[in-house]
Amino acid sequence: MNSLLALLIVPVIGSAAAAILQRYRLVERLITFLTFSVTFLFLFGIKVGDLFTWHLDFLGKNLEMGLQITPLSIFMLYMTIAFGIVLTFYNISEKSKMKGFLLLLTLAASNWIFMSADLISFFFAWELMGWSSILMIFGGRREAESRQGALYYAMMSIGGSYSMLIGIFLLSNLTGTFSIQSNVSYLMSILSVHPWQVLGIVSLFFVAFMVKSGIFPFHTWVPYTYGEAPDGFVPYLSSVMSKYGVYGFLIFLPLTLGTHVPTVLGLAWPNYVLLWFGSITAVVGSVLAFMQDDVKKLFAYSSFSNLGFILAAIALFTPIGLTAGLFHAFNHLLFNGAIFITVIALISKVGTTRMSEMGGIWQKMPLTFLTFFVGIAAAAGIPPFAGFGSKWMIFQAMISHGLIFATVLLFFASIASFLYLMRAFHAVFLGQLSHRYDNVKEVSAIGKITEVFLLGALIFFGILPGFVLDPINSIVSAFGLKPLPTSGYEYINGFFSSINMVSIFIVVIVAFIFGFVLFAIVAKHKKVPQEDNYTAGQIPQDWNLTPEMYQFSYDFYEPMNKELAPFLKVKIDGFFKGFGESVEYIGGAVKEIFTGNVQIYTYLAVGGLVIFIIAGWVVW
């Protein structure tokens, strides 16, 4: 079987088998895991430059459609399918309502997106991905809330899809072809003559990509959907599916290599606009994250904040910017996946997503605690874990372009991420253990294997980043840019300097050992009842307090919330809600016209025919 086709056919066959046998949960989970594994094996049979084409008769035209492997597509395929294997292995022992056959349909769509050589294939793959994930979200822990989250996500996705579809037909009408490569080349050729036309068409695609990645101002669906989607699906939704938008942006960003594009601070102005979308997304996500008490929503905001970092980096479209963005995309998949997998493990044990109802759980789940800690350390950009190197490169890329204000914004977002991540760490795992969790136990053997693997990956790719940077350099070269120099697997080379991650790892380990020994020798502590820390001997009932209010993370950032409140009065949700109400009003008005009166229908038909004739006369 052709390996390119196998990447589509194997998931579809696995999906059918999983759908038939979904009554047997363990069998369905095993089929899902094995299908991901077999699909991954077929990756070894493909190489850059592979092409498979076929023809389709559409509206009287013979269209050439196909699958193609580029350095970028093969990087995305390896990255996303490998994570899918880890997640589906973990889900074998979990009780999530995730439907394996829908996840496998999403896998087929994902592979199709990354391999599409034409816009028709790309669009159909995009729609398959969208609808399979929408149906998946309906099966969340809380039925009514998950339905609402799925519908919100569906409406945003449909809007993005319509925008993309209009862009596809406008572009193909100009070029006479649906080939992605031919269309991008054509846009590059007319960019200096018709810049606004090119910008208008590309913007239609960018709306769809921004929606999928949760880029501001299309981020509003993210917390609702992540918060209510089935626990076993959330890591895939946040770690893998958010990368589809990144891939889409990289299809059209080569347009800015044209020499006639006006620049702002040495950056092509469309890229400058994207840079600011990314920077604002990073800040908004971080600010909203540290206001959350729901742990899933907190990391939902964290996820799209990191997508802001990625977009800001790739928007530079310089060797270091593109390298940093792709490197952070890989690291984000890794640490975000580790965080969400440990979070869903935690939720399955304690039965709540509210951080103020947790605390002290490290005693019961030490391995989950350690994996979570390393995950958030990587997300915060703390060396020597995966996440530090890519953030370090992003800041170097921004400074090298003289984008000081944008750099300050990203630095603020990074500091804010440290604050909310440390709060989550303390609120969930540290402090005193509530008596309700006395019987909580560590995850299953499968869960432990998964967590140890993720823990090792976060450390391995943190101290030996060259294993990721080498394929990224191939992608940079394919875009016609000069890749960064390489010095060995342990080095990260930036614009101004380079760092040796193994040396940093050794320094951190020595410092940790010294600190632990000092703590063991000097620290003197004793265990006290929780109330002693907060009530000084008073009777809590007299204050109408509940045990959750003793949790030190309760209203943790209340002073900061008050300071930021004036800036958060205007909510993007309100805009989309108002837009939806307007559409509903117009729809209701139109509905009133269709009363069943044949005479009214006749008038409408005649009026439509007149408009059609006039439009045809104007066009021809």
What b/e sequence results for 67-80 when a residue is b if at least 16 CB atoms lie within 10 Å of its CB, and e otherwise?
A: bbbbbbbbbbbebb
Compute CA distances 257 → 131, 159, 462, whole Å: 35, 29, 32
Q: Where are the domains of the chain?
A: 3-513
pTM of the model: 0.85
The C-alpha atoms of residue 461 and residue 387 are separated, in whole angstroms, by: 9
pLDDT band for position 189 (cuts 50, 70, 90): confident
Instruction: Look at residue 256 in the predicted model and tell me its pLDDT.
Output: 62
Minimum mean pLDDT among 30-44, 495-509, 583-597: which range? Answer: 583-597
- Helix and strand numbers (H, E) in the chain are 24, 6
| Per-chain mean pLDDT for the chain | 81
The C-alpha atoms of residue 231 and residue 221 are separated, in whole angstroms, by: 17
pLDDT digits (tens, 9 = 90+) for 272-303: 888 989 999 998 888 888 778 788 888 888 88
pLDDT digits (tens, 9 = 90+) for 79-119: 999 999 999 999 888 777 778 888 899 999 999 999 998 88
Instruction: Look at residue 618 in the predicted model and tell me its pLDDT.
Output: 46
Chain centre to alpha carbon of residue 352: 24
Compute CA distances 69 → 7, 66, 72, 115, 565, whole Å: 12, 10, 8, 6, 48
Chain centre to alpha carbon of residue 349: 25
Instruction: Look at residue 620 in the predicted model and tell me its pLDDT.
Output: 45
Angle at 583 between CA 582 and CA 588, to 5 degrees: 100
Single-letter code of the amino acid located at 173: N
Chain centre to alpha carbon of residue 398: 22
Cβ-based neighbour number of residue 235 at 10 Å: 28
Look up residue 499 and give its two tokens. 């760092």
In 3-state terms the chain splits into helix, strand, coil percentages (rounded to 5) of: 70, 5, 25
Instruction: Look at residue 36 in the predicted model and tell me its pLDDT.
Output: 93
